Amino acid sequence: MITLKKRVSEKTIRRLSHYARCLRYSGTQGRNIITSRDLADTCKISSAAVRKDLASYGEFGKQGSGYDVNRLLENIEKILGTDNPPPVIVIGAGNIGRALIKSGLEGSGGYSYSAVFDCDSSKTGLMCAGLKIRSMTELKEIIDELGEVIAIITVPSGVGQEAVDLLVKAGCNALLSFTLEPLDVPEGVNLRFIEVFTELDILTHSMRKKSRKRK
């Protein structure tokens, strides 16, 4: 049974997602039992961290042997809610938006794209990997139909806040943005960022630091 013991950090949630990925892979490799050390090694963390993370939701392991792969995966998916993943919609049918849709969500554990939107009327009506590009005016209607959705925002810089406001108004409270502009959302709406440029900066910093040392 899943029994939450105390407040769990986002770091733990992120790692649970990693564990799920490893377990899906282990499952396809025919493994039935996995130890905290195995999970730790593939995720490049300590085995104690793995055990702590899992133990904060219940006792999923068997002492002396380890964790049953299928049972643990089911439990983690229940914890994350990914046993019944929400539909994903994409806002912006530009380069990135279309590429994401064409790439699909295979291997993600059950997510799939349910709709694409763009405010450019020269794009609406066109198809992208089987999905019709819809006008932003249809947003609320479609979200009402789909229920709770996650929206991935891939609009150009400058209109991000506008897109966010429309989404929030349409009842969406889970957003993932590829834009680099700072965005505001009301309390209770979860907004996350994919920060490609920041990742580049971090890489630049570490390589410059390294070459400085070498001198």
Partner DNA sequence: GCGTGTGAACCTCTTCACAGCG
Partner DNA sequence: CGCTGTGAAGAGGTTCACACGC
User: Taking the chain, what is the end-to-end CA distance rounded to the nearest angstrom?
Assistant: 57
Interacting stretch for a second copy, rule CB under 8 A, among 26-34, 41-49, 52-60, 65-73? 41-49
Among 2, 25, 32, 48, binds DNA (CB under 7 A): 48
Cβ closest to DNA, residue 60 vs residue 111: 60
Q: Scan residues 4-33 and list those touching DNA (CB under 7 A).
A: 7, 9-12
Cβ closest to DNA, residue 76 vs residue 155: 76
- Residue 66: which of a second copy, DNA, none does it interact with, CB under 5 to 8 A by kind? DNA
Determine if 188 is a binding residue for DNA (CB under 7 A).
no
HSE (CB half, 13 Å, CA atoms) of 185? 22
Cβ closest to a second copy, residue 30 vs residue 182: 182
Q: How far is the CB of 187 from DNA (least distance, A)?
A: 16
Determine if 135 is a binding residue for DNA (CB under 7 A).
no
SS (H, E, C) the chain: CCCCCCCCCHHHHHHHHHHHHHHHHHHHCCCCEECHHHHHHHHCCCHHHHHHHHHCCCCCEECCCEEEHHHHHHHHHHHHCCCCCCCEEEECCCHHHHHHHHHCCCCCCCCCEEEEEECCCCCCCCEECCEEEEEHHHHHHHHHHHCCCEEEECCCCCCHHHHHHHHHHCCCCEEEECCCCCCCCCCCCEEEECCHHHHHHHHHHHHHHHHHHHC
Determine if 49 is a binding residue for DNA (CB under 7 A).
yes
Determine if 194 is a binding residue for a second copy (CB under 8 A).
yes
Determine if 42 is a binding residue for DNA (CB under 7 A).
no
Binding mask 119-158 for a second copy (x = CB under 8 A): -----------------------------x-x------x-
Determine if 102 is a binding residue for DNA (CB under 7 A).
no
Compute the distance between CA of residue 161 and CA of residue 171 in angstroms, rounded to an integer: 15
Nearest to 136 by CA among 96, 92, 177, 173: 92
Q: How far is the CB of 118 from DNA (least distance, A)?
A: 36
Among 2, 48, 99, 126, binds a second copy (CB under 8 A): 99
Contact set with DNA (CB under 7 A)? 7, 9-12, 35-37, 45-49, 51-52, 54-55, 59-67
